Amino acid sequence: MTTNSLVLGAGGGFNTGDIFFQLIMFIILLALLKKFAWAPLMGIMQERADLISSEIDAAEKSRTEANQLLEQTRAEAKSARLEAQNTIENAKKLAEEQKADILAAARAESERLKEMAKLEIAQERDKAMSTLREQVASLSVMIASKVIEKDLSEADQEKMINDYLIKEAGEER
């Protein structure tokens, strides 16, 4: 026997039975792995993909809602600003109107007081003139009676007063 035949005979050749057996065992192992390991692993991976997808959708929905709320808040802030501005403008207008009313009332009161003072002054002047006329008349009568040394009647006194003194007092005015 040659060394070649010994090596081949001792297991150096292809044993188709062993190859066939190992091939069948490998296929069975693949089938078992597919059934017990690959399917659950793929299920877990699919669940994970679905979870990630739903979280992405939820995040997108939340972002959209946040943008809507932001826009709504901005619109409300703008509206509040405009309302505050209108309120301030109305208050300014009202204050100006009240100022004008108060000034008009003060001017009217001032004019009324002026007119009352003028009337009062005119009345006092007329009263003083009347008193002065009476005193001048009585002094004139007294002086005239001393000059003439006779008593004049009241009618004569009135005539003299009207002729001389009142005319002169009226001209001096």
Q: What is the pLDDT of residues 35-54, one digit of tens each?
A: 888 888 888 999 999 999 99
Rounded CA gap, 93 and 124, in Å?
46
Quote the tokens at residue 140.
């004139």
Rounded CA gap, 151 and 149, in Å?
7
pTM tops 0.75:
no
Rounded CA gap, 35 and 14, in Å?
32
Q: What residue ranges do the domains of the chain occupy?
A: 50-172
Check residue 150 and report its DSSP letter.
Answer: S
Say how many C-beta atoms besides its own lie within 10 A of residue 133's C-beta.
Answer: 15
pLDDT tens track for 103-153 = 999 999 999 999 999 999 999 999 898 888 888 877 777 777 766 655 667
Out of 3-17, 28-42, 73-87, the most confident range is 73-87
More confident of the two residues 156 and 38? 38
Rounded CA gap, 112 and 107, in Å?
8
Rounded CA gap, 146 and 158, in Å?
17
Q: CB-hemisphere CA count at 13 Å for 132?
A: 11
φ and ψ at 27, to 5 degrees? -65, -40
